Amino acid sequence: MNADMKKVPKIPSIRRLANYLHLLKKMREDSKEHVSTTLLAKETHLEPIVVRKDLEITGISGQPGVGYRVDHLIAAIEKFIGWNNTSEAFIVGAGSLGRALLGYKGFESHGLKVLAAFDCDPSKTDTEIHGVPVFEMEKLPNLAARLNIRMAILCVPEKSAQSCADMLVSAGIKGIWNFSPVNLKVPAGVVVQNEDLASSLAVLSFKLSKNIQRAAEEAAANGVL
């Protein structure tokens, strides 16, 4: 622990920075040169003070009355997140979700390039999906080492998720984007980002059922029902 620990940003800030980045890139396409926190706040439905504090952690400072230069702000956020160099990744598991992610156009604009996919099902290997080659799983460690790959996207069924993660860690992978509904055990120094669709669905279901319940109660209180 040292004094720098205080500067570690909160995860929601990083998620919001990714959102600002997305908007800023659209502004750059529209040849906009400057942007204010007020405008970013309006577009993202956030309070201006939240936007200002998020941007501050990247180290950039705006000009009073002018705001930020769009291209400077894009560069600052990309550098902060670690997106100024394209990251290369493997996809592990070429089932329906893996295939969908291979076809997802959004990754490259966020600095992620998927170089290859791997699957243990021989009927899926030695093919290409959306231009990306699919290899048998056994080839992963050698290719990861040769290409110096640090990131993998895990889309395998639950029962093989932990063994695949172990194999990825042995192969030198340092970041796992986990789409399998499993709490992976990994050693210190390896980062796991869980993309848990079931838990998102839980949040939506919960809010929806509370909303419908509230509407019914209000209707009852107003004598509508």
Burial of 190 (0-12, 13-18, 19+ CB in 10 A): middle
Please identify which residue in 36, 87, 160, 162 interacts with a copy of itself, judged by CB under 8 A. Answer: 87
Residues 25-84 interacting with a copy of itself (rule: CB under 8 A): 43-45, 80-83
> β-pairing, 68-69 with 34-35?
antiparallel
> Among candidates 144, 143, 126, which has minimal Cα distance to 135?
126
- Using CB under 8 A as the binding rule, whether residue 185 contacts a copy of itself is answered as yes
> Among candidates 68, 62, 74, 89, which has minimal Cα distance to 18?
74
CA distance 184 to 103: 26
Please identify which residue in 210, 216, 219, 220 interacts with a copy of itself, judged by CB under 8 A. Answer: 210
The answer for residues whose C-beta is within 8 angstroms of residue 135's C-beta and 6 or more apart is 116, 117, 118, 125, 126, 143
List 71's β-bridge partners, or say none. Answer: none
- Using CB under 8 A as the binding rule, whether residue 204 contacts a copy of itself is answered as yes
Site string for a copy of itself, 88-127 (x = CB under 8 A): --------xx-xxx-xx-xx--xxx---------------
Please identify which residue in 145, 147, 202, 216 interacts with a copy of itself, judged by CB under 8 A. Answer: 202
Shortest distance (Å) from residue 24 CB to a copy of itself = 13
List residues near a copy of itself by CB under 8 A.
Answer: 11, 14-19, 21-22, 43-45, 80-83, 87, 96-97, 99-101, 103-104, 106-107, 110-112, 150-151, 174-175, 177, 181, 183, 185, 189, 191, 193, 195-212, 215
